[in-house]
Chain A
Amino acid sequence: MVVPEPSDETLAARAAAGDDSAFETIVRRYQARVFRLASRLTSDADAPDVLQETFLQVYRHLPSFRGESQFGTWLYRIATNAALMHRRGAKRRAAESLEEYLPRFDADGVHAATPAELQVASQADELLDRQTLADRARDMIARLPDHYRDAFVLRDLEEMSTADVAQALGIEPAAVRQRVHRARLMVRGYLSDLLGVKP
């Protein structure tokens, strides 16, 4: 007979009551996802510190978890805050204009690029070497203005709902959509540019 894995909420209640093995299970269940989130919001070099800070905060705040949101959402919010706090303390990059990656239109509001040029970004993973794409993708995310980067990472890469992203970042859902949109336009244009095509 297969014993079902305990739910996050069950583990959280046990861990809050002092069950160390329940907390270890939570850590094992979420550590890879938190590390990935942290590396996208900060860097590979900073992600280990964010990972540690996240689970320390989770441990400390477990008794206050009331189940008002899903446990994973709650934990992700802590991880996001830890990453943003970590980044705030780091040296800031100079702001960079990424307008060159936005789509171009003629005077009548028609796309300046041809259909084939407009579609090329969707083939970036087929046309570029895997490692090159991975390096450039990380570089592009790091170059995004912070408020675009945060919304894009949480919504488009971590696939959180717009409502959860809004709550995590303390902004309105409409602002999340606007930021994700701008970031996605820039990233899409960057992929085109990597393939030698103007967005």
Chain B
Amino acid sequence: MTYTCSSGVELLMDYLEGVLPAETNAALEQHVARCERCTAFVASYQATPRILRDATATSLPADVAASLRAFLRTRTTAFKNS
């Protein structure tokens, strides 16, 4: 089995998660090793989660933490007394 860029891309996640049969794995690796475009594509595909993770990492605002404490104090007391 040989792969094109297009058919290889469709298997990328399964490849990275190690769930493909060994034969498919080897054929895919062979394609990527010979294909400059796929090598570049795979690099950006693998970098995407890290970039989004860093860009969307929020910290908990102090006022939200304080509201949470006040909320839980009231509601857990009510729950215990119910």
Q: In the complex, how many residues of chain A place their beta carbon closer than 8 angstroms to a beta carbon of chain B?
A: 57
Alpha-carbon separation in the docked complex, A20 to B43 (Å): 48
Contact in complex: B58, A44 (CB < 8 Å) = yes
Say whether A23 faces chain B, with CB atoms less than 8 Å apart: yes
CB distance from A141 to the nearest CB of B (A): 7
Say whether A122 faces chain B, with CB atoms less than 8 Å apart: yes
Say whether A162 faces chain B, with CB atoms less than 8 Å apart: yes
Contact in complex: B52, A60 (CB < 8 Å) = no
Alpha-carbon separation in the docked complex, A173 to B22 (Å): 19
CB within 8 Å of A: which B61-82 residues = 64-65, 67-69, 71-72, 75-76, 79-80
User: Interface range on chain B: under 10, 10 to 19, 20 to 34, or 35 or more?
Assistant: 35 or more
CB within 8 Å of B: which A20-34 residues = 20, 23, 27, 31-32
Contact in complex: B6, A109 (CB < 8 Å) = yes
What sequence of 0s and 1s flags, for each residue 29-61 of chain A, a beta carbon within 8 Å of any chain B beta carbon? Answer: 001100110011000100110011001100110
Contacts A31-B65, A35-B60 known; list 19 others, CB within 8 Å: A32-B60, A36-B57, A48-B67, A51-B64, A51-B68, A52-B67, A55-B72, A59-B72, A105-B4, A105-B5, A115-B39, A118-B41, A119-B43, A120-B44, A122-B51, A125-B55, A138-B55, A156-B52, A185-B45
Listed A/B pairs (25) with beta-carbon separation below 8 Å? A23-B76, A31-B68, A32-B59, A39-B58, A52-B71, A56-B76, A59-B72, A60-B79, A109-B6, A110-B5, A115-B39, A118-B44, A119-B44, A120-B44, A121-B47, A122-B47, A125-B54, A133-B55, A137-B51, A137-B55, A141-B56, A156-B52, A177-B17, A181-B10, A185-B9
